[in-house]
Structure 1
Amino acid sequence: MADITENICPMLNKDQVEDILKNDYGFINGKIQELDGYDDKNYHITEVEKCIEEIEFPTDGIIIKFINSIDSKNLLLLDAQTKLTQYLEYSGIYCPVPVFNKYGNSYRSHIISKWYIIK
């Protein structure tokens, strides 16, 4: 169990978010707005100037989520969440759906100061 005083929230800056958007998704020069979150870091990305990969950028933007260091260890849960949202979309239920990165994955592990999952 984690120490309750431990900070599990990802610590990163705007430059790191821009690098991940460019390197993982091919999105360049987007507007980045940090959203409120408790244990995770969430950013709303809009107005991307250029997509250097074959990834279509949604007109209303995307949310990129940096999952906290505890939940990042539970890959089965993350896979289940992805499959559930895909099933809901397939069934005609409007919900957030994953944006796959240029590697074809719905998430990627990344070390910032600890091990985090980016979704």
Structure 2
Amino acid sequence: MKMTLLCLLNTCLMATGQMLFKIGSAGKAVNSLFEIVKLFFTPIVFIALCLYAATTGLWLFILSRTPMSHAYPIQALAFPIVLFASMLFFHEHISGVKWLGIAVIVFGVFIATRG
């Protein structure tokens, strides 16, 4: 149970990083490698990169203590978390087909983490 909660925490932190990447890149010109590297050093993107480094450390800790076949399916929950957050924070329209896909992912994670 503890490792499952850590997997969920890791997934939520990854999703938070994705949202920060979106915020940090919004309205920026990203047309060259130089512009991408320059973007790395903006405050929000830099925080997102640090968050990703932390989630990588947490992921290594998780993998050292639990089977990958249990931990990895939980990472798929980043998709519904980001989809829901994009709807709330960026007012993106989420179609019925996407909601159906998210339901399949959630159900699949539920099945994959049993037993």
- Range of TM-score over shorter length: under 0.3
TM-score when normalising by structure 2: 0.26
Decide which structure has greater helix share: 2
Name the TM-score, length of structure 1 as normaliser: 0.25
Q: Which has the higher strand share?
A: 1
Higher relative CO (Cα under 8 Å, sequence separation at least 6) belongs to: 2
Specify the structure having the higher radius of gyration (Cα).
2
